[in-house]
Amino acid sequence: MRILFATGNLGKLQEAVKVLPNADIQLLETDTVEPQERSLGEISKYKVRTAAENSETDSGLVMADDTGLFVDELDGFPGTVSSLFEDRVGSEKLLELIKDNRSASFRCSVDLRGEPGYQHHANGDKHRRHG
């Protein structure tokens, strides 16, 4: 099965290849705009829809995802803006903001889109306490 992964993160592409060894996962180079939404699911659904609409392919499935770090003590912050926070402020500053409770969840939302009318959505998370 061919899956075109709309991502600018080659690490995510490599991970998808490991997790889905029987699939033919290829990078889909297309412009995707990441909306500032409160939900990873809303973001991944938007990204897969726009990637499928903007790409010039009509074969295979298109996949897009969004991930985030949700810190319990910070009421889920940085959440959907984790990458932006990391780029602009850094993880050291995030650790300074956390006083007592270092538990957090890393969450991911993935969407697949194929033939007209076919779309599948999945969520996952990993909860952990650090320090």
CA distance 28 to 99: 41
Strands 119-129 and 103-113: antiparallel
CA distance 8 to 18: 17
CA 102, distance to chain mean position in Å, is 22
> What are the C-alpha distances in Å from 14 to residues 7, 20, 25, 103?
11, 10, 9, 27
The residues annotated with a catalytic role in the active site are 66
